[in-house]
Amino acid sequence: MDATTSPSPDTRIARFSRAERWVHRSITVLMIVLIATAAALYFPDISVLVGNRPIVSNIHVIAGFLLPIPLILALASRAFRQDAGLLNRFTAQDWTWLRSRDRRSGRIPVGKFNAGQKLNAAFSMGSIIIMLATGSIMFFNAWFPDDIRTGATFVHDWLTLAIVVVVVGHTYKALMDADARTGMRTGHVSARWAAREHSQWAEEQRLGG
Amino acid sequence: MEPTLPSNRDDALAAPPSTATTSLADPPKAGAGPDSASPSGSPVGRRIVLGMIGLGAVGVLVGRQAQEAITSTVSATVPGLGSIVPAAGGFRIYTVTGGYPAMDRADYRLDVTGNVTTPLSLTMADLADLPQTSMTKDFQCVTGWRVDDVLWSGVLLSDVLAAAGASTTSSALRFFSFDGAYTESLTMEQALRDDVLVATSMFGEPVTREHGGPVRLYVAPMYGYKSLKWMSGIEVVDEVVPGYWEVRGYDIDAWVGASNGRDDEPIA
């Protein structure tokens, strides 16, 4: 590598725009509220401890209807749209990365997002749409026949289980990686981290200036 | 780092012509590398989202049958799992007040008042001295969930009314909860049925606090909201006074499968 173009390990690289970090923070707060109120509504033991069911259920419904709003507002941001485009597209490399055992070794070059992050984004998007739809059926229940209401409850309940598993996984991964958290908090990551975790992206950043 | 660079370049060169065309038509923006400027790869994310929406829609359509299948499988194989796994046949606990009222069994009284010859204030021991009745019947909630084969025990409401010398020419009853808010109603004809119980036990155990203990009503043929929890008073009156849920739009005569716009299977 040429010494003049090789980035110093301490160079900061811009990773997430202000809009993107704001979206992530809003979704985080709303998801915590949704999961906590869901637990208080669903588990008898917690229901008994918390009580105030009408209030808890109202908070859950309001947080649910607010959930898509940050995403819709963020569509005005070019950085958000570009990253959404990157998350949408799976390359041949992504499939190789998913299949390989040593996907964390850096052998397979990774772009701005790895395939796991892409899967998480797609699952989150699909989940938000389904939870919003089934939640709306449960909320405006007078407009729907019995079977549909029961079916919506069924999907809402079971998808909750899957979402909690994925959210726990996402949080665990974040807890294991302080640099990744810094990236989402400040918008910048170290060049060293970028080269290790997202080598292809780091290279693009270096070439693109 | 170094070994990855050549392969990186190879990938770029080996990219399909369509990608190259797109790159030319849509020049890379400043600050973005060649790969991030033009979408490369297939839109798998969108396919996953659309696939999930499709699965979700199917789930909504067949959810009722799926839920029933899961409920019967789970309750047959792993009793107790129902309270953890969604839609596996557990009770959902509702309360109309801020909390879950607690009552010491020693302090408990069930007052029977109104058009009666002998007003009563029954202790748990008094209730235990009355003729005991048990029945195994489902509990159906108006919101859709149902718990199969619950063992209920206690005193038939008709036996309590007989003990108080209730006027059977009176046409209705009011029920009060010691939570201070929950009330219910039945006609005298409904109250004298042999599947309406002043329940002191569920599943062979004393009725728990969250299930409405120490004493709750169980009106088998009607939706769950008629089965008043934390029962502390029965009043024999001349006409039906709509209860807590009924003033909030639910049917007064809440027959399972024939009220509230629902078609659930009646409780046999």
| Separation between Cα atoms, residue A109 and residue A107, nearest integer Å | 6
Domains of chain A: 16-90+107-208 (1.20.950.20)
Sheet of B231-237, strands arranged across: B120-122, B110-114, B231-237, B172-177, B183-187
pLDDT at position B112, please? Answer: 96
| Separation between Cα atoms, residue B147 and residue A38, nearest integer Å | 21
Q: pLDDT for A125-149, tens place per residue?
A: 999 999 999 999 989 877 888 788 8
pLDDT at position A161, please? Answer: 92
B98 versus A15: the higher-pLDDT residue is A15
| Sign of the dihedral defined by the CA atoms of residues B201, B206, B209, B214, in that order | positive
| Separation between Cα atoms, residue B256 and residue B266, nearest integer Å | 5
B2 close contact with A: CB closer than 8 A? yes
Chains A and B: how many Cβ contacts under 8 Å? Answer: 174
| Separation between Cα atoms, residue A51 and residue A63, nearest integer Å | 19
Q: By C-alpha distance, which of A209, A208, A190 is closest to A198?
A: A190
Query: What mean pLDDT comes out for the span A164-171?
Result: 95
A56 versus A8: the higher-pLDDT residue is A56
Query: Does residue A1 have a pLDDT over 90?
Result: no
| Separation between Cα atoms, residue A14 and residue A7, nearest integer Å | 14
Domains of chain B: 4-37 (no CATH), 92-237 (3.90.420.10)
Token match 């408990």: residue? B108
pLDDT band per the 50, 70, 90 thresholds, residue A9 = low
Q: By C-alpha distance, which of A68, A85, A82, A87 is closest to A26?
A: A68
Q: pLDDT for A76-127, tens place per residue?
A: 999 999 999 999 999 888 888 888 887 877 788 888 999 999 999 999 999 9
CB of A156 closer than 8 Å to CB of A138: yes
pLDDT band per the 50, 70, 90 thresholds, residue A183 = very high
Listed in sequence order, the DSSP H helices in chain B are 4-13, 17-25, 34-37, 44-77, 124-129, 157-164, 188-191
Among the partner residues A90, A107, A152, nearest to B63 by beta-carbon distance: A152
| Separation between Cα atoms, residue B245 and residue B268, nearest integer Å | 24
Instruction: Look up residue B8 and give its two tokens.
Output: 């990186």
Token match 């979700």: residue? B56
Query: Does residue A197 have a pLDDT over 50?
Result: yes
Provide the pairing of β-strand B172-177 with B183-187: antiparallel
A57 close contact with B: CB closer than 8 A? no
Collapsing DSSP to helix, strand or coil, B110 comes out as: strand
Among the partner residues B1, B7, B60, nearest to A134 by beta-carbon distance: B60
Q: Please, is B26 exposed, middle or buried when counting C-beta atoms within 10 Å of its C-beta (0-12, 13-18, 19+)?
A: exposed
Element (DSSP H or E) covering residue B266: none
Q: Which residues of A touch B60 (CB under 8 A)?
A: 134, 137, 148, 151-152, 154-155
Q: Which residues of A touch B11 (CB under 8 A)?
A: 92-93
Nearest CA in chain A to B7: A109
pLDDT in single tens digits along all 268 residues of chain B: 333 333 333 333 333 444 333 333 344 344 334 444 445 788 999 999 999 999 999 999 988 888 777 766 765 665 555 444 444 456 777 777 666 788 889 999 999 999 999 999 999 999 999 999 999 999 998 877 788 889 999 999 999 999 999 998 889 999 999 988 899 999 999 999 999 999 999 988 999 888 898 999 999 999 999 999 999 999 999 999 999 999 888 999 999 999 988 888 898 8
B171 close contact with A: CB closer than 8 A? no
Query: Does residue A200 have a pLDDT over 70?
Result: yes
Tally helices (H) and strands (E) across chain A: 11, 2
pLDDT at position B98, please? Answer: 65
B17 close contact with A: CB closer than 8 A? no
Collapsing DSSP to helix, strand or coil, B101 comes out as: coil
CB of B219 closer than 8 Å to CB of B190: yes
| Separation between Cα atoms, residue B217 and residue B213, nearest integer Å | 10
B30 close contact with A: CB closer than 8 A? yes
ipTM score of complex = 0.86
| Separation between Cα atoms, residue B63 and residue A149, nearest integer Å | 9
Q: By C-alpha distance, which of B263, B181, B251 is closest to B219?
A: B251
Q: Which residues of B touch A152 (CB under 8 A)?
A: 60, 63
Q: By C-alpha distance, which of B117, B198, B127 is closest to B162?
A: B117
Q: Do A88 and B43 touch (CB under 8 A)?
A: yes
